[in-house]
Every structure is written in C-alpha cells, then in structure tokens.
Amino acid sequence: MTVIDANRMHEIETRYPEYFHRSFRQRFGGLMILIATLLYSLYAVWFFDLPKLFAEAHWERVGLYLSQWVSYDVQPEFRIGDDGSIDIRYPRFSPLGNNPHPDWLVNNPDGSITVSISGTGRSVTVSKNETIVTAHGVSVPVEVSSGAPKVVGPVPGWMTVYDDNVLADLGFAGNVSISVDRVKIRKRFMGWANFIFDTQSSFFDKPFGEVVSLIVSVPRIKPDQSNLSLAFDDIWNNSEWQHGDVWTKLFQTIVMAFLGTLLGSLTAFPLAFLAARNITPNRLLNQILKRFFDFLRSVDMLIWALFLTRAFGPGPLAGSGAIFLTETGTLGKLYSEGLENIDNKPREGIKSTGAQTVLVHRYGIMPQIVPVFVSQTLYQWESNVRGATIIGAVGAGGIGLKLWEAMRTNANWENVAYMVILILIVVFIFDTASNALRHRLMGTKAH
C-alpha cells in the first residue's frame, strides 16, 4: 500500500486541477438538467391541460375507426307495410350488388325474416308486429305495432330506448335500429369488399377458378375486347377502390419528390460554392446567400405549397415547386457547410501547379464532397417522399389529396387503410434503396 504525503498530494492537485477543483457547473450540471427537464414536463402538462384532454377524449372512436380500416358493413333495411309485407332494401352502392341474395338472410314460413348477425348466436327476426333481437344469450322482443317501439321486459345494457326508435349495439358485429315502420341493420364483415372487381364488373362475385377460366377462354364477354383486357380494365377502373386513380396519384407523389429534390440540388450546388467562405472570399456575398438559404428553409414546405396552390392552382406543379424551394434552402446550407469543412491541402496542391479554377474545383474539391453531397441528397429525397404526401393534402396533388378526400367522408376508412399501406410500402422501398446507395457511396456496410 502506497502512502501519499501532503506535498505529493498538493503536487497532484496542482498538476490535475480539473479533477480536484471542479466548477459548480461540472459538479451539479447533470442534476440541474434533470431538475429542469422535470420542471418543463410539469409545465407542459399544465400548459396543454393534459389530464382534461385525456379525460374528454373520445377513445371509443379509436376502436371504431380501426375496425373500419379492416372491415366493411352491409346495411339492409326492412320496411314494414300496413298489410304486413316486409320490403327489403339495400343502399344504392351496396357491396352486395344490385340484386343481393345473401345466405345470412332467411325468409321464414310465417312471413318473418331472420338475419344472422354473426356466428356467435346473434340474430334479428323481423315480423309485422315485433322485432326480436338475440344477443349475449338473451332474446329481447321489441313491439312495433303501436305509435312507438316498445321493449318487452327489462332493457339490457346493450340496448338504448329513444322516443321514436330503439338502438341495439351488438359491438363489432354491427347494430340494429328499430322504429315502427322499419328496421335497419348494420352487419359488419372482416376484409375489404370488392377489392378486385366492383359490382358493375362482369367478373363480380365469381369464384377465382371461374374468373381464370373466363380470362383464358376463347368466347369473349365483349366482342370488341379480350377477356384479359376486360378484366384489367375492370380492376383498374374499380369504382369503389379506384385503383387506377390511386396508383396514378401515388406515381405523382413520387415524381413530385424526385423532381423537387433534383431541381433543388441542381440549384443549391452552384450557390453553395458562392456561399462557402473558403471557396468565395466575399463576405457580403457569403452572408446574402446564407440568409437566402435560411429564408427558404424557415418557411415550411406546407406553407410554400399553400402559396403555390393559390398562384398556380392545385396540382403536382405546386407540390414540386414547394419541395424545390425548401430543398434549395436545406441542401444549400448542407452543401456550403460541407465545402467549408473540406481539407484544403489537395486544393492548394493542385492550385500550386498553376491549374485553372475549374480544374482546382474538379480535382481538389469534388472528390471530397461528391459522396457526402449525394448521400445528403438521397436522404432528402426519401424524406420528401413522405413530405409530398402531406403537402398533397392542401391541394398540391398526389396521393395526399386523395387520402384527405377519403378521410373527409368519414365513411371510407378501408380506402384510407389501402392508401396508407401503399404509402408505407413506397417509403420503405425508397428508404431501403437510398440507405443502400448511401452506404455504397460512403464505402461502409449497411446494417
């Protein structure tokens, strides 16, 4: 064991004062940051009134919207006539087509109609004088012969009685609305209805084998068009899912991102040489261009899109212009900072040979900056694929506008899910491709 005397200890303290005489910031800096973070979190909770926000939120809508992403409903309506007849009607654009005969709807010998809601014993039987709703192990009769529907017996918790109708909530399976002269049923199914062929197609509601047989068979459904071409047209022009329009808008989004990023990089590249202090020794010009880049970046892409849609009208041109302006500012700043951080020795060596300025830039600067510039541009490009979707929602064209239109109806959530999945696939593909190209250019391995 080594014993250090007072003189030796003083010598060590003098030699390494940073370890023995730490400042207040060094000793308590971490604790102060932690306390500041906690105080800011408490302030944010108070400022946004988070407890009230969470308490008043409509959390039940989350499950409803998510269920509509992966399901569809059929809404038969039973109108009861004065003579006891029951007329079945479907909405104009029913997923079952113009003349549906579903197997879950049964006409009983006594004239009543039974609708099976799900495979768990839930059903509705409609007759002239009453409607019987069976769910959760009980059957609840609702009389409809008088001036207002009346529940016979105790009202279960999943049934609500109003002045002129009775609503039975059957959960995800659907619901039943009962009034004196009509019963409306909402029956929910998993999946996406008519995703391939809509109800107007010649191939609608046919088994897969029959569709293949029709496509390869010689007799034509339409004399002037082959069955294969007809099937493709029916899929592309599907009136419910609008595949052709969705894919066209998706391609517009990709082109918007590519064109805006390309034009922004081509504009920012020469301006960056003028903005870099070590390349262009003109402080006034450097500052003007850097502030110009700051101005273009400070105005968000969404704001540029709003300006340009007012100037040129809605469409991909406004979206490409918004991305171009934003990327000119962003890439101009990145490029100029990259130029200011290059190693000047290769440049000075080539300049010492008497080479022209163009050759000095070509051989002294370009080899250092090209991989970095391309990597930054690719990253901005993949980011703009996502950004182009957002600005499309304000009228800048592309699939963003299509997505916003589907959301505004508050009824086509399965179409929203379809477009969201397409956007995720495109973003994933571009992220993967861009990441591989960046690592290839930088000479590193992708993980």
Task: Render pLDDT for 276-299 as a digit per residue (tens, 0 to 9).
Answer: 888 888 889 989 999 999 999 888
pLDDT at 436: 81
pLDDT at 13: 66
pLDDT at 345: 77
User: How far is residue 109's CA from residue 98's CA, in Å, rounded to a whole number?
Assistant: 25
pLDDT per position as a tens digit, 112-150: 889 998 766 789 999 888 899 998 888 999 998 777 888
Rounded to 10 degrees, the C-alpha dihedral 395/396/402/404 comes to -50
pLDDT at 443: 65
pLDDT at 9: 67
pLDDT at 312: 83
pLDDT per position as a tens digit, 66-77: 888 888 889 999
pLDDT at 310: 86
pLDDT per position as a tens digit, 235-277: 999 988 999 999 999 999 999 999 999 999 999 999 998 998 8
pLDDT per position as a tens digit, 395-426: 777 888 888 888 887 777 889 999 999 999 98
| Architecture, CATH, for domain 243-442 | Orthogonal Bundle (1.10)
Whether 438 shows a pLDDT value over 60: the answer reads: yes
% residues pLDDT > 90 (the chain)? 26
pLDDT at 340: 85
Whether 343 shows a pLDDT value over 80: the answer reads: no
Mean pLDDT of the chain: 85
Q: Which of 194, 158, 199, 173 is nearest to 115 (CA)?
A: 173
Domain coordinates in residue numbering, the chain: 8-47, 74-190, 194-236, 243-442
Residue given tokens 């022209």 in the structure block: 356
In DSSP notation, 215-254 reads HHSSS-SBTTB-HHHHHHHHHHT-TTT-HHHHHHHHHHHH
pLDDT-based confidence at residue 324 (cuts at 50, 70, 90): very high
pLDDT per position as a tens digit, 182-226: 999 999 888 898 899 988 888 888 888 888 888 887 788 888 888
pLDDT at 36: 93
Burial class from Cβ neighbours inside 10 Å (0-12, 13-18, 19+) for residue 292 reads: middle
* Largest interatomic CA distance in the chain: 115
